[in-house]
Homo-oligomer: A and B are copies of this chain.
Amino acid sequence: MKKVGKFVSYTDQVYREVKGAVISQDIVPGETLQERQIADTLGVSRTPVREALKRLEFEGWVETIPWKGVVVKEIERQDILEVFQCRYANEGYVAKLIAPTIEDAHIQDLNRIDQRMREAAAVVNRQEFINEDRNFHMYLAQLTNNERLIQFLDHLSDQLLRLGIRAVAEEARMDEALEEHKAIIQALKAKAPETAAQAVEAHIQNTEKVVMNLIDEEDWEWA
């Protein structure tokens, strides 16, 4: 968002602060936020707080309930399903789109990300694994040069962050995911659009299964 030089507006700071708190579950769904309260806590006026909250509302993180306050939206089973549906539709297409024109340098970049993920898996660093996984998927998206697509997928990924490291709770899943990524890279290297798309779709579907199982097993009290 608009910055001149090193200038970062209070609005952006508040935005990141609150969004981070929502993602990391510091603010629990159902909890109500108030402009004045946040403004006092962060030591700024209501204006930047107000703008940050508006943006968060637009992005679907919070919901304004008139005369009550801003409440963090619950994350429900349906939300996860929606996100995975969207990812399925778009990331498969991404693979189809970029396969024909992918370059060696891109494959090398992907392998580098893959390598870092393997290292993270080796020491069971789930957070790092997840971060690099996101990099992997977003790297593919960026190769389309389609800003709208990139932004959409980025936003979808953001929402999954609230699931935390649950998606790779089992170490075995990390190895599976790595194999699936390998298949994707190979299909891309072979410049095979359909194969690549199928590999991506399978990968996402598998991830979805793991996540949904976890949700259904846990006492999923966020919903």
> Nearest B residue to A66 by beta-carbon distance?
B4
> Nearest B residue to A90 by beta-carbon distance?
B89
Query: B86, A146: Cβ atoms under 8 Å?
Result: yes
CA–CA, A148 and B4, complex, Å: 32
The reply to whether the CB of A132 lies closer than 8 angstroms to some CB of chain B is no
> Nearest B residue to A92 by beta-carbon distance?
B89
The number of times this chain is found in the oligomer is 2
Q: Could you list which residues of chain A lie within 8 angstroms of chain B, going by C-beta atoms?
A: 2, 4, 51, 54-55, 58, 60, 64, 66-67, 81-83, 85-86, 88-90, 92-93, 97, 144, 146-149, 152, 156
CA–CA, A54 and B47, complex, Å: 13
Q: Contacts A64-B2, A66-B4; is A82 near B147 (CB within 8 Å)? A: yes
Residue A58 contacts which of B55, B64, B148 (CB distance < 8 angstroms)?
A: B55
Q: In the complex, what residues of B have CB within 8 A of residue A51's CB?
A: 51, 54
Q: Contacts A54-B55, A89-B89, A93-B89; is A82 near B149 (CB within 8 Å)? A: yes
Say how far A194's CB is from chain B's closest CB, in angstroms: 13
Query: A82, B146: Cβ atoms under 8 Å?
Result: yes
Known pairs A54-B55, A86-B152; list 13 more (Cβ under 8 Å). A2-B64, A54-B54, A58-B58, A81-B146, A82-B146, A85-B144, A86-B146, A86-B148, A86-B149, A88-B93, A89-B90, A90-B90, A152-B152
Q: In the complex, what residues of B have CB within 8 A of residue A149's CB?
A: 82, 85-86, 89
CA–CA, A149 and B88, complex, Å: 11
Say how far A57's CB is from chain B's closest CB, in angstroms: 8
